[in-house]
Amino acid sequence: MEHSLILLHNDQIVFTSDEHWLYPLFELEQYLINSAIPIEQLFLKDKIAGKAAAALIVRLGIRNCFIELLSERALPVFEQYGIKYSYNQMVDHIQCRTEDLIMDKMSMEETYLFLRKRAGKVQGTTLKIKELAVEISGKSILQDLELDLGRGEQLVIQGENGGGKTTLLKSILGLINPVHGSILIGEELVGSSAWQKNRHQTGYLNQEITRNNFPITSAEVVAIGVSGIKISNSEREYRIELAMRKTGCFSIRNEMFHQLSGGEKQRISIARCLCQNARLLLLDEPTSYLDEKGKEELAELLIDLSRNEAPTMLLVSHDSNWTDQLKWPHKTLKNGKLW
């Protein structure tokens, strides 16, 4: 094949890619999103495929494929999901670090998100905290705290009330100055001039405790996410609508914010963060004022965001029964440190 990947419909080429590694399949994913061709009518030709490529082919919904060089590690994936395949040459494995990192116990969704992160196809940024110490009114709250989150990763921090969880988030937001230590969001040091220019890349979802009747619509709250950002009116409206559709709250765009339920307000707040293109989301006890239905809907929304938008998300909560639904990694904040 001249191209690294070819997609055919009724023997006619409808898509090609000359990229390498897994990038042709991610390009194909974008093509399929906008294509009206039934997936079952498509035939894929790929130069090389191992376990990782096989997982993406399954995720895309492709049912028939030809692989020039096929790894034996791809066979269990194809056979488990009933993919019809043929090949020109088979090898026992492909020399690729990604192949070795995919664990058998990983679900298809976990594998997909892992591969997106490896390919840099995520919204998130990195968060690195080193030797962070914070005092409030002379009292030590955080002591030599260390944290390292990769792009698109999620983490739940649990701990007792008053243990420093909110203090940690406010430090990341630059609202509290540390005694010593550093916080890096991407390559920017919190407090630096470069960080000041890009503060909108960090979104904050606080505990829902607002009890005023200020006359502002849901869409106007979401629009706060782009206030101060120099964009055209058309881009502004596009961002607002897209963020509200992604979070399932576009239908209530004209309703007064103060009249919404707790769960609806949280959706609007997350939409505000997406509207500002936040690459790091900080969520402070987001279920504090939600009923059981609201908690369930919020969990579903956050899981969906982690799979699709994949921003880096740091959530603090004492509600372990709820956070267990997310199936995110957990750490405990105790005595000023993360364990």
Tens digits of per-residue pLDDT, 44-80? 999 999 999 999 999 999 999 999 999 999 999 999 9
Q: What are the tokens at 260?
A: 């919404």
pLDDT range class, residue 229, cuts 50, 70, 90: confident
Question: Measuring CA to CA, which residue among 93, 20, 13, 28 is closest to residue 59?
Answer: 28
Show the DSSP H helices in the chain as ranges: 23-33, 51-60, 75-80, 97-101, 108-118, 165-172, 193-197, 218-223, 233-246, 262-275, 292-307, 320-326
* Burial class of 164 by CB neighbour count within 10 A (0 to 12, 13 to 18, 19+): buried
Q: What angle do CA 66, 67, 73 make, to 5 degrees?
A: 125
Task: Say what the pLDDT of residue 52 is.
Answer: 93
pLDDT range class, residue 246, cuts 50, 70, 90: confident
Task: Say what the pLDDT of residue 102 is.
Answer: 84
pLDDT tens column, 144-156? 999 999 888 899 9
Task: Say what the pLDDT of residue 109 is.
Answer: 77
Average pLDDT, the chain: 90
Average pLDDT over residues 111-140: 89
Enumerate domains of the chain plus CATH numbers.
Answer: 5-118 (3.40.140.30), 127-338 (3.40.50.300)
Average pLDDT over residues 296-317: 88
Higher pLDDT, 133 or 303: 133
Q: What are the tokens at 333?
A: 């904040």
pLDDT range class, residue 14, cuts 50, 70, 90: very high
Q: Alpha carbon of 117 to those of 24, 25, 46, 154, 215: distances in Å?
A: 15, 14, 22, 12, 41
What is the sign, positive or negative, of the torsion defined by CA atoms of 309, 268, 290, 147?
Answer: positive
Please state whether the predicted TM-score (pTM) of the whole model is above 0.85. no
DSSP state of 251: G
Name the one residue in this structure whose structure tokens are 């040459």.
89
Bridge-based pairing state of the strands 42-49 and 188-189: unpaired
Query: What percent of the chain stands above pLDDT 70?
Result: 98
